[in-house]
Amino acid sequence: MIYTVTLNPSIDYIVEVHDIQLGGLNRMNRDLKLPGGKGINVSRILNQLGAENTAIGFLGGFTGRFINDKLREDRIRTDFVTIADDTRINIKLKHGEETEINGLGPAITTEEADRLVSKLSALHQGDIVILSGSIPPSLGNDFYEKLIAVCRQKGAEFVIDTTGPALMDALKYQPLLVKPNHHELAELFGVNIETREELVVYGRKLLAAGAQHVLISMAGEGALLITETDVFHATVPKGTVRNSVGAGDSMIGGFVGTWVLNGNLQEAFRTGVASGSATAFSDDLSERAYIEELRNQVGITQLQP
């Protein structure tokens, strides 16, 4: 079983307007309300690929009920901890370029946090837990480490998609996969990275620190997959970028879901890149038919290790 963990979900409220008049009345051309949060995005892509998964995390209030209902409508299994505070709303304002206004998120009590840790006690050997996104301040900076400790105790693998100290602290526990983009990788090591060769060098530093596989997204330049023995480069399909939300989450969902379903690392890489691209070219997260269409446009080359 695959479990996705979203500590700070949201309703993503997407609003499109032709122009913005500050201080005046503005009317929408269209709007869209979607269940949001990085782990939830991963669950939605896994669902498209037919990979069984359960979405867990924290949900509260009318906003939390909306998210849970939408996921259930899509037949995604959920097991969220219900909290007293309301789940946040994030506004994605589209007016030529996209402006994001993200909610602060709820305060989570110690008792609520402990209930989420307890849910992972049902893990079994061979399960995969995908930890995605930032940690709400009320949980403390070490909360991912608490969840990882349960994964290790139960013999489950984990994937972590976050940045900064939370990512670096997780490496010693040997995550199955980490997925920084090229900017995040440079920030992790406090350097400027200008070439693909330099990306490989710093990607290998993540391997040396404990990661089992490193997936680096490079926007229009494609993506790299680095393992202990191999380095692969994938090209990205051609298309018009319409959506900046969820492409990285889609890549993780496509990669992990395909790997679990067929065990082929290169096909997992190909599907991950196609999933991320399909989301970038869509108004919402990608659907299976579009992912399959773009898979054939992803070329993979093995580089010199």
CATH number at residue 55: 3.40.1190.20
11 phi, psi to nearest 5 deg: -85, 125
Q: Note whether residue 31 is domain-resident.
A: no
Q: Note whether residue 295 is domain-resident.
A: yes
Q: Note whether residue 218 is domain-resident.
A: yes
Task: Give the pLDDT confidence score for residue 104 in this predicted structure.
Answer: 86
- Using the Cα atoms of residue 155, residue 156, residue 159 and residue 164 in order, give the sign of their dihedral: negative
Q: Note whether residue 50 is domain-resident.
A: yes
| pLDDT exceeds 80 at position 253 | yes
**Helix residue ranges per DSSP H, the chain:** 38-49, 61-73, 110-119, 143-154, 164-170, 182-189, 196-209, 247-262, 265-280, 288-295
37 close to 8: Cβ distance less than 8 angstroms: yes
Q: Note whether residue 85 is domain-resident.
A: no
User: What is the tens place of the pLDDT at every residue in 75-94?
Assistant: 999 999 999 999 999 998 88
User: What is the tens place of the pLDDT at every residue in 92-105?
Assistant: 888 877 788 999 88
Percent of the chain with pLDDT over 90: 73
Q: Note whether residue 245 is domain-resident.
A: yes
CA dihedral 254, 257, 263, 267 (to 10 degrees): -20
3-class state of residue 86 by DSSP? coil
**pTM metric for this prediction:** 0.92
Q: Note whether residue 102 is domain-resident.
A: no
Task: Give the pLDDT confidence score for residue 283 in this predicted structure.
Answer: 79
Task: Give the pLDDT confidence score for residue 97 in this predicted structure.
Answer: 76
The residue assigned the tokens 């304002």 is 93
Domain that holds residue 75: 2-6+38-80+110-303
Task: Give the pLDDT confidence score for residue 305 in this predicted structure.
Answer: 61
Structurally, the chain folds into a number of domains equal to 1
Nearest-angstrom CA–CA distance, 103 and 100: 10
**What average pLDDT does this structure show over 260-276?**
94
The model's confidence at residue 286, banded by pLDDT at 50, 70 and 90, is confident
53 phi, psi to nearest 5 deg: -155, 165
User: What is the tens place of the pLDDT at every residue in 29-78?
Assistant: 889 899 999 999 999 999 999 999 999 999 999 999 999 999 999 999 99
Q: Please identify every residue annotated as catalytic.
A: 249
| pLDDT exceeds 80 at position 288 | yes
Q: Give 225's DSSP letter.
A: E
Q: Note whether residue 59 is domain-resident.
A: yes
